[in-house]
Amino acid sequence: MQKIELMAPAGNFESLQAALDNGADSVYFGVEQLNMRARASINFTLDDLPEIAQRCQEKNVRTYLTLNTIIYDHDLSIVKTLIQKAKDSNITAVIAMDQAVIMAARDIGMEVHISTQINITNIETVKFYAMFADTMVLSRELSLRQVKKITDLIEKDQIKGPSGNLVEIEIFGHGALCMAVSGKCYLSLHSHNSSANRGACKQNCRKKYTVIDQESGFEIELDNEYMMSPKDLCTIDILDQVADAGIKVLKIEGRGRAPEYVAKVIKCYRQAIDSLEQGSFDKGKVVTWMQELEKVYNRGFWNGYYLGQKLGEWSKGTGSHATQKKVYIGKGSHYFPKAQIGEFKIEAFDVSVGDTILVTGPTTGAKEVEVAQMLVNDEPLNKASKGDSVTIPLGFRIRPSDKLYKIVENKVEA
């Protein structure tokens, strides 16, 4: 089995660090507005590119700049500026769907990856884009059998990209799925003049709808009013079959989600991929990983179309089905490096010995730890409340900008 590259989303520096800390092989991110999560995540700026590249190079992690929206004439100047800045900052590759972006990257020798928005579904299309790109994301609607046929033919026909290496195939492995074919949706454009294909989706599909017969006024009964909101994709339980399909890169969706989501999902898939390579992948581990994945944001899980399902599985409600949630408590104030103790100012609610806390920050990432002991206003107590100063032994450094949360159980409707 070839080694699978685990590719993590990064919507901000907190998520970027969470990906690096939990074993990602590569990260993908957007800059400014020309990416498919232009509104859903904070996004980085041009000036952030050198720091992104440096942090990732220190961990030997590849970096991919997403420029995968529809491009208009007035965008061409900024596209070329972005790509040149990415190359100058040693960003590994550009993810593209518009031919203008592909050519702009190729013109300056920048590695190109083909986005799922191009909707590659057959080997001849792979051969065409092999003239420009080394890595391609296949259409989300393909089955693993179809994926394997493509990867087998790449090997058989020795289809190589500009680097001279065999073309690498990437698929989505986990996260949100769009009801539209490989993400090409126009609902948001029609209803709000806000194009999903320009990264400005209003998520019409995630809402509750009633269908009415316009002629009779009869309201059609539905088993599920959320008829356009698919469950989240999850492949950790079929990862052995995914690996057998010959894919090279497993992409985790989630640039609009919180850093603890990135940390948890990347950690689980890192363990799963390593288990596959070590020959220790089994159902018992899958159960544990699924329980962990359910703790962070999700709309319920299904395997997508990879096993040949003809119809999608739809979410039963709005929002997250996560079994846990975070509650803001306070922020960091000081760190004592020799003792590895963090000091926090409690600004809301309370925290007690035995609680699981989450610390997030641009440099810290997203780290969970159970409170084994603490000092409250310099006294050994079991509980701290609003207004208290609390010190907690930690295995990591905190910064004054870090936020402190408590992880609590979240009641999810069946």
What's residue 299's pLDDT?
85
The tens digit of pLDDT for each residue in 158-209 reads 999 999 999 999 999 999 776 665 555 656 555 666 555 555 565 666 666 6
pLDDT along the chain (414 residues), means of 10: 90 96 97 62 84 98 93 91 96 96 96 93 97 95 95 98 97 82 58 59 62 69 60 94 97 94 98 96 96 93 83 67 92 94 95 96 96 94 95 94 93 61
Burial zone of 323 (CB within 10 Å; 0-12 exposed, 13-18 middle, 19+ buried): middle
Burial zone of 398 (CB within 10 Å; 0-12 exposed, 13-18 middle, 19+ buried): buried
β-sheet bridge partners, residue 249: 5, 170
β-sheet bridge partners, residue 383: 352
**DSSP labels for 44-71?**
B-GGGHHHHHHHHHHTT-EEEEEE-S--
How far apart (Å, rounded) are the C-alpha atoms in residues 326 and 349? 12
β-sheet bridge partners, residue 330: 346, 404
What's residue 407's pLDDT?
96
Burial zone of 74 (CB within 10 Å; 0-12 exposed, 13-18 middle, 19+ buried): exposed
How far apart (Å, rounded) are the C-alpha atoms in residues 114 and 116? 7
What's residue 377's pLDDT?
95
What's residue 317's pLDDT?
66
How far apart (Å, rounded) are the C-alpha atoms in residues 137 and 7? 12
What's residue 198's pLDDT?
53
What's residue 120's pLDDT?
95
